[in-house]
Structure 1
Amino acid sequence: MWRDVQNCVQHPQEAQCLHVTSNYVVLHGKPENSHNFLLSPTCRIKGIECPFLESPQAVNYWHDAWINAMPGGGVHMKADFVGLGINSQAARQFNQMHIHMAEVEENTQKQLQDLEKAQDIATDPRGWSQHQVPVTGFKGRRTYRALLRRGLDENLFALLDQYVVNPPQTDVMAQQTLIVVPKKVNNAYTGDFYVLNSDKSLHDGTDTCDELLVYA
């Protein structure tokens, strides 16, 4: 993947390079279709465990992924419900950081809204680790730590390390998966985002975003 990113930086006109900026490149995911894309930095970052992602110098890659995946965004994604995700070190295939931009099922969106109404989703990052909820995706039911945020202006990697991993540890961060599901009501995105985290230390936990994101 790093070679693909470098190639797009040098040859942005190539068909596989869907959107090239100084900070990131957008590529097709596998399988290649209209609701499966990847955003990868143009600098060398291995993955979720990289401390640089939490620094003030880091680009807000989650915001950039949403800008590209949102209706009318850079990749013209065709999905009724959008999801963004990053895998743990063990679950990923490539050691170049990438955020998946894919589809989530309507039922996943509904479950999250129902959990929010039941006040089972944290609204303060300080309570994120305590709000553990079951969410069923197309691969089955898993447990996630759930947080609701307005906008994507915060550094989600730093929030995860500070309030969930706590105290920050690179080897523990490497075990985490992180998924962002934009809230959608009456066919319109509201500007709120469900931020889900899991790892295999949880009962029915998972270290991959692939349980909720639909690629095929």
Structure 2
Amino acid sequence: MEAPKIARLSARRAAAVLIAVGCLLAGIDAGSALEISHRGLSLGPNDLWRVVTYVCGTTATVGVPYPCSDVTPATDREPGRATLVVGSGHVLTVPLRRMVGIEAPAFLAPESAAYWQAAWHARDLVAADAGRPLDRSEVALAVNSKMGRSQNQLHIHTACVRPEVVAAIEADRDRIGDDWVVLRRPIEGVLFSARRVTTPDLATVNVAALLPESIRRAPAAMARQTLVVVGAKFDHGRDGFWVLNVQASSRFQAHGESLLDFDCGRRP
């Protein structure tokens, strides 16, 4: 009966060594790697990439991808990605290939739907932190614009959604369809555009590719966009999503993350 225990201890010790090795390769100290997982993204603009690639990627070789929750290697069918809890009710999905942000051309490729699907699955980690089941309409995903991000590696945020965001969507529920429309109620002082997605998950939906072609064809325009995806329930019990978009301006840096609620576990 002792063999499994010894194996676990060996794995933990190996992981500790590999964390140190990974941090050495990444050029950061172990404290910085752990700070990203415990306190959020408050470090240098390339530290998320370094932690996911060198630290999580290294420790995953012994089955303990700490400080990430999960590392999924790339296959012939899907790109690799890592899942990282960065604070209370806040999870990141990070590609294992270098993609600077929303403007990366590869983010528009069909296979990038796997990142959105992984981010949607990460809602289970948010629910675990909240200590209660979460309805899909309580959960949102967000990608910030170049102006509104702190890290130079693409990542999708998963958390609860702020109630006022849901209220703005519900006020225009009957107007939102398969084409973009401008919401009439401002969020964060600006008017977002919205459209719906009528699939129950995002396995085959690359949300970034839903943006108008005039934006998708211009990397400079893509860099100014933020995308927020909110779980939805449509008529007759159909599951789907609301997708919100706005462009960075002098009034708003297109920081879609600000529409998320990291304290939903404390709400009654």
So what's the TM-score if we normalise by structure 2?
0.65
Task: Give, as a single letter, the amino acid of the residue that structure 2 aligns with 1:112.
Answer: I
Do structure 1's residue 55 and structure 2's residue 109 form an aligned pair? yes
The CA deviation at 1:200 is 3.0
Deviation digits for residues 167-205 of structure 1 (CA, Å, limit 9, x no counterpart): x100000000000000158xxx9521000000135x966
The CA deviation at 1:136 is 5.2
Tell me which of 180, 190, 193 is aligned to 2:229.
Answer: 180
Q: Which residues of structure 1 form unaligned runs of 5+?
A: none
Moved over 6 A (4+): none
The CA deviation at 1:101 is 0.6
Whole-angstrom distance in 2 between the partners of 1:62 and 1:107: 23
3-state SS, counterpart of residue 84 of structure 2? strand
Tell me which of 61, 69, 73 is aligned to 1:18.
Answer: 69
The CA deviation at 1:59 is 4.7
Tell me which of 28, 44, 54 is aligned to 2:85.
Answer: 28
Whole-angstrom distance in 2 between the partners of 1:200 and 1:3: 27
Do structure 1's residue 3 and structure 2's residue 50 form an aligned pair? yes
Whole-angstrom distance in 2 between the partners of 1:135 and 1:8: 41
So what's the TM-score if we normalise by structure 1?
0.79
3-state SS, counterpart of residue 197 of structure 1? strand
Task: Give, as a single letter, the amino acid of the residue that structure 2 aligns with 1:173.
Answer: M
Higher relative contact order (CA 8 A, sep 6+): 1
Do structure 1's residue 101 and structure 2's residue 162 form an aligned pair? no
Whole-angstrom distance in 2 between the partners of 1:209 and 1:135: 16
Is the alpha carbon distance of 1:135 and 1:178 closer, same or farther for their aligned partners in structure 2, counting shifts above 3 Å? farther
Is the alpha carbon distance of 1:148 and 1:155 closer, same or farther for their aligned partners in structure 2, counting shifts above 3 Å? same
2:260 corresponding residue in structure 1: 213
Do structure 1's residue 165 and structure 2's residue 222 form an aligned pair? no
Is the alpha carbon distance of 1:150 and 1:204 closer, same or farther for their aligned partners in structure 2, counting shifts above 3 Å? farther
Whole-angstrom distance in 2 between the partners of 1:190 and 1:213: 23
CA contact (8 A) 1:109 1:184 kept: no
Is the alpha carbon distance of 1:103 and 1:43 closer, same or farther for their aligned partners in structure 2, counting shifts above 3 Å? same
The CA deviation at 1:3 is 0.9
Task: Give, as a single letter, the amino acid of the residue that structure 2 aligns with 1:76.
Answer: A
**Greater Cα radius of gyration, structure 1 or 2:** 2
Whole-angstrom distance in 2 between the partners of 1:53 and 1:150: 21
More helix by share: 2
- What's the RMSD between the two structures over aligned residues? 2.6
Whole-angstrom distance in 2 between the partners of 1:192 and 1:204: 31
CA contact (8 A) 2:168 2:183 kept: no
3-state SS, counterpart of residue 172 of structure 1? helix
Deviation digits for residues 26-54 of structure 1 (CA, Å, limit 9, x no counterpart): 1122xx11x11111011111110011111
2:42 corresponding residue in structure 1: none
3-state SS, counterpart of residue 40 of structure 1? strand
CA contact (8 A) 1:84 1:102 kept: yes
3-state SS, counterpart of residue 190 of structure 2? strand
3-state SS, counterpart of residue 110 of structure 1? helix
The CA deviation at 1:55 is 2.0
1:149 corresponding residue in structure 2: 197
Whole-angstrom distance in 1 between the partners of 2:242 and 2:129: 19
